Amino acid sequence: MSPATTCGRCGVVVEADAKRCPGCGRLWPSLFGQRRRLDAWFDNDRPFSKPLGLFLIVVYLVTCLVASKRGDFVAGGLFGLGPGPETLFRSGAMATAAVLHGEWWRPITGCLLHAGILHILFNVAALWQLGGVVIGGYGNARFVIVLFTSGTLAFVTTMTQVPFTIGASGAVFGLIGAAIAYGYRRGGEIGERIRGYGFQWLAYGVVFGFLVSSVNNWAHGAGAVVGFGVAWTFDVWRLQRGRESDGARLLALFLIAVTLVALVVGVWLGFTRDYPYVRFR
Ligand SMILES: [Zn+2]
């Protein structure tokens, strides 16, 4: 006998191999017996923001190491203490010219790279703080959807203004937008508090953006707008009623897979290709 799980739509207990839910009639209600696994992966008591932040720190340290081996480590000030432009470019930085030459992965991989200590620390701190709020409201799956769409679209929509850029800031501003959207949609005292928290982070981000001249304010603005817009379409009461939808979870898994493939392909091709159209120095 296969272990029973519950239907993703109505919550009725179903056998893992049930073809139709006896409660609501949904086809394959236990997702071919994979629902337990999905429930375990997307357990909202273990927010994805923590491992993601650690992953970004590891990526930063690895690019520092690679850069210093290549003689491309830049040590000018807190913001510049990190890999130089060539290492960043080859690791998958967002570069408009390369995207126009068919390198589709750059709006994705560019979000994973950081150029200096201040840059990585600000983004990871914001990711951990805001991630907790957004995951608390929407759950891990929709957190991933907000991050991916706001991070990549922030780069794509501003590629004519900004020819070369990196960092998770667009995605972080997407979280700010999502927290504000959650606050408005939820309403009440809790909604007001979360909205205020979002606006507070928005103020920090804007001040930080205009104090540090190398910050890509275009991508920040675009990320906030996309995060707000995407989160506005979400059902804010979904988690209180049970769990995230199967669709959101499967989409989140797909986006994580796309990101990992983009990183592997991007690093592989970036360090082996010639770039006659790029002047590195
Ligand atoms: Zn059902």
Task: Parse the chain into domains and list their residue ranges.
Answer: 1-35, 42-272
* Statement: residue 259 has pLDDT above 80: yes
Give residue 236 CA to ligand 1 midpoint distance, Å.
21
Confidence of residue 212 (pLDDT cuts 50, 70, 90): confident
**Mean pLDDT confidence for 226-243:** 93
**Which residue, among 214, 207, 280, 219, has the nearest Cα to 79 in the 3D structure?**
214
Give residue 27 CA to ligand 1 midpoint distance, Å.
9
What pLDDT digit, counting tens, does each position of 79-128 carry? 678 999 999 999 999 999 999 999 999 999 999 999 889 889 989 999 99
Question: What pLDDT, on the 0 to 100 scale, is given for residue 34?
Answer: 81
CB-CB contact of 170 with 215 (8 Å): no
Question: What pLDDT, on the 0 to 100 scale, is given for residue 78?
Answer: 61
Report how far residue 216's alpha carbon sits from residue 34's, in angstroms, rounded to the nearest whole number: 42
Give residue 145 CA to ligand 1 midpoint distance, Å.
25
* Statement: residue 77 has pLDDT above 70: no
% of the chain residues with pLDDT over 70: 96
CB-CB contact of 74 with 80 (8 Å): yes
Give residue 257 CA to ligand 1 midpoint distance, Å.
28
Look up the pTM and report it: 0.92
CATH 1.20.1540.10 fits 42-272, yes or no: yes
DSSP state of 112: G
* Statement: residue 214 has pLDDT above 80: no
* Statement: residue 1 has pLDDT above 60: no
Give residue 142 CA to ligand 1 midpoint distance, Å.
22
| All residues with CB under 5 Å from ion ligand 1 | 7, 9-10, 12, 21, 23-24, 26
Crossing angle of helices 188-211 and 217-232, rounded to 10°:
160
